[in-house]
Structure 1
Amino acid sequence: MGNWLVGGSSGLPSVPADKLEEFIQANLKPNEECLKLIDQDVDAISVFLRSRDIPVMRVAKGGSYGRETVLRGCSDGTLVLFVDQFHTFKEQKENQNELLNLIEQHLKTHEKYNKPANLGGILLSTQGQEIHLQLLPAFDPLCCGEIPRSRVYRDLKRSMDQVEAVPGEFAVCFTTLQQQFFKKYPRRVKDLILLVKHWYHECQKKRKSSLSLQFLYALELLTVYAWEQSCPAKDFDIAEGAKTVLGLITQSSQLCVYWIDNYNLEDETVRNTLLCQLRSQRPVILDPTDPTNNVGKDDGSWQMLTEAAQAWLDSPSLKNVLPAPRWNVLPTSLFITPSHLLDTFIKDFLQPNKDFLEQIKGAVDIICKFLKENCFQDQSTKVQKTVKGGSTAKGTALKSGSDADIVVFLSSMKSYGSQQNQCSKFVQEIQKQLEDFQKNQKLEVKFEISKWEFPRVLSFTLKSRSLNESVDFDVLPAYDALGQLRSGHTPRPEAYKELIAWYRSSDLRGGEFSPCFTELQRNFIEPRPTKLKSLIRLIKHWYKQCERKKKSKASLPPKYALELLTVYAWEQGSGMDKFDTAEGFRTVLDLVIKYQEVCIFWTVNYNFEDELMRSFLLTQIRKKRPVILDPADPTGNVGGGDRWCWHLLAEEAKEWLSSLCFELPKKSDSDLERRIQPWKVPVVQTPGSCGAQMYVPPLWVECS
């Protein structure tokens, strides 16, 4: 057992990553029985004060004690006494000290009274656990703890201006909300908070500086933010969480963290207060219960913590561990990024760097080599070719969250029918071979169990010491319908004739054979201007934010649909290599909002000239909106009609119209707020708009 496990002095960087949880349980988590005894003392003090004619309406527990983030040994707490003689924030400021003196006079007669030297409040202790409990009489603006209305925060801002209060001076009035905010998070998140707080204690000891309770609160909120944004399960890897929080600390100059659980942008006064905070100098970590309280404001500690965080990240215990990657969490939100900084946001947070691209290439090479050399060695089936698809092949991958698609074209798949009938068999064979392969390699492969009885794709996560983080793979066996594609030529017509015939004769969903056309999907996006691909990254990031907020099990449209919608918006609205990113973003959201009208398609690989294709396409574009046809596969309507919950995405898009992304800077103080406008883009495309001059049956007119 290492000395770190028994409270040794080596410090956290010496604790092995896989032992961090054990360290928390052994050194940081307080004894439950001790906390129960302290709870009894706190309740007794509350009853005692009420019996002394102090007009206490209710009591709230705050600080680490109230948030259930108490460290073993000595920790902080607050006992907020909401009194009925304070009717406004102003009265609290004017009379709080007088009432506090009265309370302390009464407390001197209480058996548990033990005042810490040079500090207010009382010190409660039992069996090695101490809590320094501050007592604060306060005004109750919440009417017995109800969720605050905008009026409460309007009154707060007005009162602060009247009495010239410092930001956060009345945060104590919202202690109940703070307690409720932390109560909803799993115990494991609070254990991670204990680890981060202990690390801060260690840093301050080395620096020989006193602890800042506000800074401790800021670190607690940053830890919550890291977990919340990553959207992991309740049972997560502590080392991954620690690395993520440390990574955010190293980006403190870009940190802007906030919540809208209790206040939002709807009320003008609250909106102005919130926006003023969000535009202020970084780091910003807003108290989720008080929009005036930036608990992350730099007091000179951030530089020291940034260096200490980087040192821990570079320590062998975290740097050389497998897997324990960081979660994909950005230090700031897209929602509050001004329109003129969107390109910078993409470059800083979404654009893959050289290391990322090399990592993906390395991972793909590992799998492709395995597929060609290790699969089907003793069988008649051969791998004809492998094709890289998905966002990495198109050049639209996001910076983090590595993913790669590989389509394997097999010699024994000679038709769409054989792909449908044999695909599951080959998926199982590839998995079996990969399981055997990894036993003799320095690889770790984690398979995702398919919900389908006969899976047609093998999904797995590849981890290797040669890779900085894990890479998610989808391997799809497919029929080589296209054959040898020649540059600048359309696919052989027979490929689509066979596809349509098979589609019409079966009950399969459209797009079932889209892996066969991966090269065409890649070629449709890959040659596009760099800035358009950057806009696609921005839309995909926005989509992920919407996905994270989704609480129901309803399915959102596929990301590919948003990708195609973005290409269409650019083609119809700009078409230039250089354009305003905010305008493009705004246009895509506008199309999402109008999803019930959308009907778009392309004729780069198929068109209306052939009678069979013409008839099929007209049938496709008459379907329930939205209709977004895959330019590589005419059976693939990724708009899906009512197959997916476009309305949820549309609701999010409407909310985002009020974001800073679409706000133009004011030219003067008297200037009204100006908003970015979308490009003028038709939501309905017709065969005529694609240059196919032909008679369109009345049914098309009715549908459009």
Structure 2
Amino acid sequence: MGNWLVGQSSAWPFGGSPGEPPAGPSWRSSDGLSGGWPDLPAVPAHKLKDFIHAKLKPSEECLKLIDQDVDAISDFLRSSGLLVRGVAKGGSYGRETVLRGYSDGTLVLFMDHFRSFPDQKQNQHELSVIEQRLKHYKKYSMSASLGHTPEVLLSVPGQEILLQVLPAFDPLCFGEDCSSRIYRDLKRAMDREKAAPGDFTACFTTLQQQFFQRYPRRVKELILLVKHWYQECQEKWMTSLSPRFSYALELLTVYAWEQGCQDEDFDIAEGVRTVLELIEQSSKLCVYWIVNYGFEDVTVHNTLLNQLRSQRPVILDPTDPTNNVGKDDGSWQMLTKAAQAWLYSPSLNDMSPAPCWNVLPTSLFITPSHLLDKFIIDFLQPNEKFLEQIRKAVNIICEFLKENCFKDSSTKVLKAVKGGSTAKGTALKYGSDADIVVFLTPMKSFSSQIEERSLFVQEIQRQLEDFQKKTQELEVKFEKKSSTKWKAPRVLSFTLKCRSLNESVDFDVLPAYDALGQLHPGFTSRTKAYKDLIALCKSSGIKEGEVSTCFTELQRDFIKPRPTKLKNLIRLVKHWYKQCERKMKPKASLPPKYALELLTVYAWEQGSGMEKFNTAEGFRTVLDLVIKYEQLCIFWTVNYNFEDELIRTFLLTQIQKKRPVILDPADPTGDVGGGDRWCWQLLAKEANEWLSSLCFELQSGDWGQRVQPWKVPVVQTPGSCGTQIYPSVGI
């Protein structure tokens, strides 16, 4: 699942929870920041990686020596008469997120005679037994225990680790494929023993270690940076470090990387900005994973619901659904202010605009059905500032294309048209490109567009590079699109930065033939344009939809007049699609987003047609159609129809192709359903899993009561022609 994401325990007098060591002495820091390095918020963004390696990462030699000491303690305790089934390493030490200088760790002893969670709770005397054994181990006779928990301070030159030694029940002793049973037993034990959240966290140390082993080295380096910043904050506030809170920040960093990047070699500054932005939104944070537990079992389902509905922030331990390590103890408000100070500091913004990843503070999967509209408004719908930035950026590029790009050439720009989601009014607050289709005079036919567009792509890039050098106002970074789909480049992709813009904007510029001919004397009817295109498809075998950019205005006008709420539903579906895409990338070739956009319009037309409708029902209907992809045959007759014989024959051929068939309402040659061209089966599998999400649970919360889809036919015929809410034009 896309969104794969303690209070104090009364049973532990020193505070925190079992498995969490107490805070270290207040005078300890990672290294004192000697050697000329300033405090972290003053370190320039481009130097953060150097800072981590110079000041925060322990040396490999130190860690090897610590490992030897930990193994020696383990062997000694095993041979000292204790009935130890197995040993697990936890805390920062076990998660491999140890800061240089001083850090925490746990050594969990899985006791052979602990056969259940209650056994662990009822045999706290084992703590004193372990401490007595440790006192007989000469090298570690000076243990630093607090309360009833034995601790050993491991020290090698350059590194100290306060190791907490804990006896625990091993819930995995019966096999690792029984997670539902494990977590049912956990919930029953907590209720019976009146245990506090997190009391049994040590039992899941092995799972915690496995969870962090999945993440690449640089993610753990980013964790070190965030933890060190938190440590600096605590020293500034003169308060004790909270291992629970430190663990929450580790998980938040993992979440930021999972949701926003997933590249092993990423920019550290972008990661830091993303984590700080999430901290800034702490009042909305709801982070969890379902790698070890999920919603399938009723008991676990209800436990999760109880946690996910609790007051924010929520950061659930991925190994223990009862343990909200993000629970506010008064620290978040102070940390939020510190995050804002660093986030907007000159050092972290040494380039403008400063990039970060697009990560939401909460997950769509666990958003209740009655809050979907609020989710869209809060997280998906662009604000006026974003839209103004897009407008400014589009105007800059359009002015360049019209006034500067071809000023010394016979080529003229007939018009530059904004396309894509920004033009249709379905742009997301994050990750939406600005598409511009530029209609050029030399392109006088569909064939000429196919043959010449790569030359114009290269020419526009050359002119844009020259213009950038002359003005020094624009900063353009070009991106090469994959050539697997098209033989020659059909699009110029680049990122635009400008002094007048607060944010960078991604562009796709596409040269095209003005097939509809509104602005030059050779005006042709829409019918003739479609007939010419169909004839070309039959004679030359060009890819279907290869010249769909010619009909950009029709694509835009098909969506733009629709009700705002429908456009918001499209945003929701596109966000869901992005979650699926991130999960599968780069494993599969998913259908284009445009196919999902059209599917959403169709679901609304056939199932509702009202300006006000239930968003959860609409979303559920779209997923239902995705699940039934093998039956789909969908088209519209708003721009073309069955009246002309040539077009009718072609359309009949199109709709008899392998399903799914979803015809572009602006281009009859564009089947964005694509039959078996794309991996619809993977998207359908995801859609089926999402039916269990909270998005479709009725507000009453009754188990098994779910939002139902609208009744929508999966197949259209020439006789049905779909619901024509918007009249056809020009045929």
> Considering the TM-score relative to the shorter chain, is it more than 0.5?
yes
Instruction: Report deviation, 1:118.
Output: 4.3
Q: Which residue type is aligned with residue 107 of structure 2?
A: L
AA of the residue aligned to 2:715: V
1:483 aligns with 2:517: yes
Provide the secondary structure at the position in 2 that maps to 1:293.
strand
Q: Deviation at 1:435?
A: 2.1
Of 71, 74, 82, the match for 2:110: 82
Tell me which residue corresponds to 1:697. Answer: none
Instruction: Name the structure 2 match of 1:698.
Output: none
2:443 counterpart of 1:409? no
Count of equivalent residues: 684
Instruction: Give the AA of the match of 1:580.
Output: N
In 1, Cα distance between equivalents of 2:538 and 2:37: 72
AA at the equivalent of 2:514: D
Structure 1 residue 517 corresponds to structure 2 residue 551: yes
Residues 382-531 of structure 1: matches in 2 within 5 Å?
A: 382-440=412-470, 441-452=472-483, 454-484=488-518, 492-531=526-565
Match of 2:58 among 27, 30, 39: 30
Q: Distance in 2 between matches of 1:9 and 1:19?
A: 10
Give 1:551 deviation, angstroms.
5.0
Report the secondary structure of 2:395's partner residue. helix
Supply the distance in 1 between the matched residues of 2:647 and 2:490 (Cα, whole angstroms). Answer: 27
Q: Is the 8 A contact 1:360 1:402 kept in 2?
A: no
Residue 171 of structure 2: SS of its match in structure 1? coil
Tell me which amino acid in the other structure corresponds to 2:109. L
Please state if 1:108 is matched with 2:139.
no
- Counterpart Cα distance in 1 of 2:572 and 2:203: 39
Aligned to 2:84: 56
Report the equivalent of 1:695.
none
Gapped regions of structure 1 (runs ≥ 5):
693-704
For the 8 Å contact 1:70–1:194, the answer to whether it is kept is yes
The partner residue of 1:604 within 617, 635, 638 is: 638
State the match for 1:248 in structure 2.
Answer: 278
Partner of 1:13: 41
Higher relative contact order (CA 8 A, sep 6+): 2
One-letter code aligned to 1:126: V
Aligned: 1:92 with 2:123:
no
Task: Tell me the CA shift for residue 111 of structure 1.
Answer: 3.3
Partners of 1:461 and 1:260 in 2: CA distance: 35
In structure 2, the residue corresponding to 1:505 is in which secondary structure?
Answer: helix
Q: Give the secondary-structure state (helix, strand or coil) at the position aligned to 1:247.
A: helix
Match of 1:540 in 2: 574
Structure-1 separation of matches of 2:374 and 2:722: 38
1:350-385 deviation digits (Å, cap 9, x = unpaired): 000111111111211222122222323332222221
Aligned to 2:232: 202
Q: 2:716 aligns with which of 685, 692, 699?
A: 685
Residue 405 of structure 2, aligned match among 353, 375, 391: 375
Structure 2 residue 641 is matched with structure 1 residue 613 = no
Cα distance in structure 2, aligned partners of 1:459 and 1:144 = 54
Query: How much does 1:44 deviate?
Result: 0.8
Distance 2:456 2:37 in 1: 55
Aligned-pair Cα RMSD in Å: 2.0
Structure 1 contact 335–656 (Cα < 8 Å) conserved: yes
Shift of 1:608: 1.1
Shift of 1:10: 4.8
Give me the whole-angstrom Cα distance separating, in 2, the residues matched to 1:29 and 1:306: 26
- CA distance in 1 between counterparts of 2:380 and 2:635 reads 28
Contact 1:62–1:78 (CA<8 Å) still a contact in 2? yes
Farther-moved stretch of structure 1 (400-409 vs 5-14): 5-14
Q: Secondary structure at the match of 1:176?
A: helix
Shift of 1:323: 5.1
Q: How far off is 1:320 after superposition?
A: 5.1
How far is 1:459 from its partner? 1.4
Partner Cα distance (2:247, 2:97) in 1: 10
**Contact 1:663 1:676 (C-alpha < 8 Å) held by counterparts:** yes
**Residue 353 of structure 1: aligned partner:** 383
| Contact map agreement 2:635 2:722 (CA 8 A) in 1 | no
Report deviation, 1:391: 0.3
Of 684, 687, 690, the match for 1:650: 684
Specify the code of the residue in structure 1 equivalent to 2:234. Q
Please tell me whether residue 638 in structure 1 is matched to residue 672 in structure 2. Answer: yes
Distance 1:110 1:282 in 2: 45
2:510 aligned counterpart, secondary structure:
strand
Matched, 1:281 2:350: no
Aligned to 1:229: 259
| Corresponding residue SS for 1:596 | helix
Q: Tell me which amino acid in the other structure corresponds to 2:48.
A: L
Q: CA deviation at 1:549?
A: 1.1
| Aligned position for 2:27 | none
Question: Aligned in 2, Cα 1:505/1:225: closer, same or farther, shift over 3 Å?
Answer: same
8 Å contact from structure 1 (residues 237, 324) kept in 2: no
Instruction: Report the equivalent of 1:700.
Output: none
Counterparts in 2 of 1:175 and 1:353: CA distance versus 1, 3 Å: same
Cα deviation, 1:492-519, whole Å, max 9, x if unaligned, reads: 3211111111111122221111000000
Of residues 380-389 and 217-226 in structure 1, the stretch that sits farther from structure 2 once superposed is 380-389
CA distance in 1, matches of 2:358, 2:247: 23
The CA distance in 2 between the partners of 1:634 and 1:89, in whole Å, is 64
| Partners of 1:144 and 1:31 in 2: CA distance | 38
Give the aligned residue type for 1:581.
T
Question: Equivalent of 2:606, from 559, 565, 572?
Answer: 572
Residues 491 and 399 of structure 1, relative CA distance in 2, 3 Å threshold: farther
